[in-house]
Structure 1
Amino acid sequence: MSQEAVLAISKPTAERLSRLALLLEQQSEENTPITSAEIEVLTGWASHTIRKDISSLTKTSGIATNTGYLPCELAKAIRETLGFAGTEQNCCIVGLGRIGSAFLDYKGFAESPFTIRAGFDSNVNRVEILKADFPLYPTFKMKEIIPRLGISYAILTVPAEQAALAAERLIDCGITGIVNFTPVLLPAPPGVEIEQVSILDALGAIAARRSINTKE
């Protein structure tokens, strides 16, 4: 998959396709065909938008039958188009407080191409006490561990006052993607993607949509 082909896909389309791939992988146990209308019900996206997004894939042969899209084949085609099919996407958690530690037992990663390889926290006692299926380290070991494990993504859940410095250190370690659960808006330098996750923003968006739908 060429970098040019990936860049030709708009960011909203790429985000929808990535979410669709996860959804399809969760629905694909029997690989029963699914239509764009059924995807619309599950996602809330218009069926014509779904069909347009799928048409942007670099490979469309073999992903559909007369009765709908084949979940396994479509998910694979999406992964190939977005450039991470067949490769492990290694991640780490930075900040093992209440939010970060909740991810230690999260089973959703098993159904995705993303794998948590390590957790980091500045509190050494916390690192020693917490249990996880992957190793936990004090944050001063990030520079050593992140490159060694080939980690590209970080889930950032540190206290707000530590967010900016933690992000800088992660980028210095070679991290190219950060999911930011802190309330601090972090700037993304060239070559790095930062996704800001805010419960308040999500609630505000839902409230706005409800208000619009009520007026209609």
Structure 2
Amino acid sequence: MKPIPEPTRKRLIRLAQLLSQQKFKPLDETQNELPKTITSLRIQKLTGWSNATIRKDISYMNVKCGASNGYKIEELHRAITTKLGLQIDGDKKRCCIVGLGKIGQALLEYAGFENSNFELVAGFDSNVNRTEILTAPFPLYTTSYMKSVIKEQNIEYAILSAPEKEATALAIKLSEAGIKGIVNYTNALISVPPGIPVKNVSIISALQNLL
């Protein structure tokens, strides 16, 4: 079985999210019936990806396309989530936010976690005032409690949105606490032990990719 390239994996994850939305959204305001199929042209309109790219990506899923009405939404969504390990079955993966500045605050009540296999269960910041003033649907702690809380609550993944000058030290503490992976929203090039994947999220890099 040929491995799925990283760019394809990213598009398929995005496609799975779109399919989840399409299942509960009529094609237009004049229709009440929910769509059961979706064409590659419809996906192209929603994403901006080329028709050839869409078909090539979906070919990794071994899902048949109807001659006229496209792919069955449920079947395609199930194939992607199963193949990529995205299905929600049982307990969700527990995550935390480290750094409660503007980006961290925006993520505190991010609704996208509801339909994923991840859940936010804790937030951390070096500023004690933020942890006391901000409101969230889960507890907020100072970073001095980070290691103990992560271990006690079996937190596996971290979203790092702290100031750049604090990022590397915090990443090391996260790895020492047993974190399995980090999403890095800072501009710092953090270094962690082998075996702990880091996904860097950069708005500037994303914009440059549009050029």
Hey, what does 2:186 align to over in structure 1?
182
Superposed, 1:1-216 pairs within 5 Å as: 8-29=3-24, 30-57=34-61, 60=63, 67-87=69-89, 88-187=92-191, 189-206=193-210, 208=211
> Structure 1 residues 142 and 71, CA, compared in 2 at 3 Å: closer, same or farther?
farther
Contiguous gaps of at least 5 residues in structure 2: 25-33
Give the TM-score, by structure 2 length: 0.84
Where structure 1 has 5 or more consecutive residues not aligned to the other structure, the ranges are 209-216
Given that residues 92 and 155 in structure 1 are in contact (C-alpha distance below 8 angstroms), is that contact kept between their aligned partners in structure 2? yes
Question: Does the Cα contact within 8 Å between 2:63 and 2:75 map onto a contact in 1?
Answer: no
In structure 2, C-alpha distance between the alignment counterparts of 1:205 and 1:56, rounded to whole Å: 24
Question: How far apart are residue 50 of structure 1 and its match?
Answer: 1.7
Equivalent pair of 2:161/2:184 in contact (CA under 8 Å): yes
TM-score, length-normalised on structure 1? Answer: 0.82
Q: Which whole-Å CA distance do the structure 2 matches of 1:183 and 1:120 have between them?
A: 19
1:72 is matched by which residue type in structure 2?
E
Aligned length in residues: 199
More helix by share: 1
Task: Report sequence identity in percent.
Answer: 49
Q: Which whole-Å CA distance do the structure 1 matches of 2:107 and 2:77 have between them?
A: 24
Deviations 1:107-162 (A, max 9, x none): 22223332111111112221121111112122122222223333222111100100
Distance 1:43 1:165 in 2: 38
